[in-house]
Amino acid sequence: SSGTPYLGLMPGKTRIRTSFDPEHEIPRLHKWFSHNQHPTRDQMMRYMHELNTLESRRGRRPLDLTNIIYWFKNARAAQRRACKALDDSMEDSSGAGDDGRSGEDMGGHSQHRDSLPDSGDPDDSSGGGGGLDCNGSSGSGDASIPPYLPNKNAVYMIPFHPYLQTSQASHARMSTPGPGVSAESAGDDQPYDLSLAKRRSSEELSPVPYKRQARKALPSQQEEAEGAAKDNKTQDLTHGKSRPPFPAKSPNMADSEAEGHSTKRGSNSPPANPSIFLPSSTSPICPPRFPALLDAASKMRQEIPAHSEEDQATSEAELLKLRLKQSQDYADYAMHSNVSRLTAANMAALSLAQMGGLPLAQLPPSLAMAAYYPMDPRFYSAPQHSASSPTPLTRSSVVTPLHPHAHQSASPPGPHARGQMSGSEPRKRRTRVFIDPLTEIPKLEKWFLEDTHPSAFMIDKFCEELNTCEYRHKFPKLEPKNVQLWFKNHRAKVKRMKTV
DNA sequence: AGCAAGGATTCCTATGTCGC
DNA sequence: GCGACATAGGAATCCTTGCT
């Protein structure tokens, strides 16, 4: 075959992505890697052939030599990264330990990386030949040698985390120690990825550490994992030695948290910033919440000028202030109102029909809609489950703040926080962009038909065009990222529909 | 409360560039 | 040739939202 078997041969088309079987191929690759990080071309050819003869490769695209080459290259890079990260974390952990993880925690859980790549190799009864040292030499089985990670984003067993300290998990770790794992290697993983922690609960129960498992396909495991998480949550609350996963709560959070959180989702709701808690038309607790709305609206008004300066639209800011004041009044009115609901399509249609010329482009959709539809309780009422909850701070009752900056600071930290954060950063609340099904989706679909992979230039162009539409005069502007994501997800959707 | 849709995020592979 | 770094994009998953 040519040197470039699949790249560049199909300009404008999707590159074929190679995936390695986590059960049969990856362990082999790791074993080979542990024996020799720099195999010769002939060796890699043999590896390729061996993998291509596996049952797991049947029905899939045969591996090319470049796949093997790339894999080894990436594995070497990953090892270096892992060693570097480990070195850094070792330096950190040898310090004052002010990250909240006590020495007791460290010592009590020596198997911080409880599953090594090789550990899943059914062919390697010796345990995969041990880890590799940071100099890249082959592993000797020395327990002090830290393990490596073949990829910075690889799904591995998580090192210590307070939520993961189940007795079951501990037992599993103790009973199935990975090769090359030691107390020395048990320092903070760096960067600390909570998504790994989240996944660990299910994956740890799996004999195959690499394999991703669909949540819904494994309900029992999920329940087990959730139960474990719950147990650990309790432990966090009752055992002082467990590191709180989030920084000290803000003054704003204090009040709400003092009320307690009874719902799963509600537990991650308290915003770090004063957000708007619009009054509910049905909830008996709406009057106490209304001052928060007023405060938040006032705060937002104070923030407007700075933001508007960027857009060189001072007059618009003034108008926006006015509209916010109006929305505040509307909210006041809506607190005592109750009107029928509107469908999303109707909202979009009404937005076009009724909102002409009103510059609320900076508003998040929920607040903008609340401003425009003061009588629609959808935009003011708390969700159903909040009625039974002692706290009003449920996610649906929180209207995201005005600016993107504010979005970021309004994240609700909580036990379900995840993603790539260090544990000292509050989790950002995910915001969702609304794309108008009446005016925008048809355009996007038309563009999609013309080109499923538009260039960055075209993405910008599409974005620009969409933002000139009337709909975007009323609602937050789209960013190229949003358009790109739409294309990405639409490709996935189309493919999904084709397979079904 | 549960479900579906779909936007957002994470993980992983592939590729390119630059410097050594 | 290799390492470091950046980036694109598919697949899988998460999570928000609307609806019943």
What residue type is assigned to position A482 of the chain? N
Q: Do A60 and A202 share a structural domain?
A: yes
Q: Please check whether residue A401 lies inside any domain of the structure.
A: yes
- CA A153 to C1' C20, in angstroms, rounded, equals 39
Confirm if A149 and A157 have CB atoms less than 8 A apart.
no
**CB-strand contact A277/B, under 7 Å:** no
Q: Do A361 and A277 share a structural domain?
A: yes
Q: Please check whether residue A14 lies inside any domain of the structure.
A: no
Q: Do A188 and A113 share a structural domain?
A: yes
Q: Please check whether residue A421 lies inside any domain of the structure.
A: no
The structural domain count of chain A equals: 3
- Strand B within 7 Å of which CB atoms in A 353-412? 384-385
Q: Do A194 and A58 share a structural domain?
A: yes
Q: Please check whether residue A3 lies inside any domain of the structure.
A: no
Q: Do A75 and A222 share a structural domain?
A: yes
Rounded to whole angstroms, the Cα distance separating A197 from A178 reads: 18
Helical (H) or strand (E) element with A456:
helix A456-468
Q: Report long-range pairs for A316-323 (Cβ below 8 Å, ≥24 apart).
A: A316/A359, A319/A359, A320/A359, A320/A360, A320/A362, A323/A358, A323/A359, A323/A360, A323/A371
- CA A242 to C1' B1, in angstroms, rounded, equals 33
Question: Which position has the token pair 């310090």?
Answer: A95
Report pLDDT for A42.
65
CATH code for position A456 = 1.10.10
Tens digit of each residue's pLDDT, chain A (500 residues): 223 233 322 333 333 445 666 566 666 776 777 666 666 666 666 777 777 777 666 666 666 666 666 666 666 655 655 555 555 554 444 443 333 333 333 333 333 333 333 333 333 333 333 333 333 333 333 333 233 333 333 322 222 222 223 333 333 333 333 333 333 333 333 322 322 333 333 333 333 332 333 333 333 333 333 333 333 333 332 333 333 333 333 333 333 333 333 333 333 333 333 332 233 333 322 322 333 333 333 343 334 333 333 444 444 444 444 444 434 433 333 333 332 233 333 333 333 333 333 333 333 333 333 333 332 333 323 222 333 333 322 333 333 332 323 333 333 333 333 333 333 444 455 666 777 777 777 788 778 877 777 777 777 778 878 877 777 776 667 777 778 788 877 777 776 666 55
Report pLDDT for A430.
64
Rounded to whole angstroms, the Cα distance separating A478 from A463 reads: 6
- CA A116 to C1' B13, in angstroms, rounded, equals 20
Report pLDDT for A433.
73
Using the C1' atom of nucleotide C10, identify the protein residue whose alpha carbon is closest: A17
Q: Do A208 and A83 share a structural domain?
A: yes
Host domain of residue A494: 441-499
**CB-strand contact A262/B, under 7 Å:** no
- CA A212 to C1' C13, in angstroms, rounded, equals 10
Report pLDDT for A465.
80
Q: Please check whether residue A384 lies inside any domain of the structure.
A: yes
> Of A195, A221, A238, which one is at a domain's C-terminal end?
A238
Q: Do A308 and A211 share a structural domain?
A: no
Rounded to whole angstroms, the Cα distance separating A411 from A385 reads: 21
Query: Taking phi first (over 0 means left), then psi (-120 to 50 degrees means alpha), and beta for anything else, what does residue A141 get?
Result: left
Q: Do A347 and A388 share a structural domain?
A: yes
**CB-strand contact A492/C, under 7 Å:** yes
**CB-strand contact A66/B, under 7 Å:** yes
Q: Do A301 and A153 share a structural domain?
A: no
Q: Which nucleotide is nearest to A79 (CA to C1')?
A: C3
**CB-strand contact A20/B, under 7 Å:** yes
- CA A434 to C1' C17, in angstroms, rounded, equals 10
Q: Please check whether residue A5 lies inside any domain of the structure.
A: no
- CA A437 to C1' C17, in angstroms, rounded, equals 14
Report pLDDT for A483.
80
Q: Please check whether residue A65 lies inside any domain of the structure.
A: yes
Report pLDDT for A355.
35
**CB-strand contact A214/C, under 7 Å:** yes
Q: Do A398 and A468 share a structural domain?
A: no
Q: Do A464 and A393 share a structural domain?
A: no
**CB-strand contact A491/B, under 7 Å:** no
- Enumerate the nucleotides of strand B whose atoms come under 7 Å of any protein CB: 1, 6-16
pTM over 0.75: no
Q: Do A194 and A275 share a structural domain?
A: no
Q: Please check whether residue A422 lies inside any domain of the structure.
A: no
Integer-rounded Cα radius of gyration of chain A:
27
- Strand C within 7 Å of which CB atoms in A 49-108? 73, 76-77, 80
- Enumerate the nucleotides of strand C whose atoms come under 7 Å of any protein CB: 2-5, 8-20
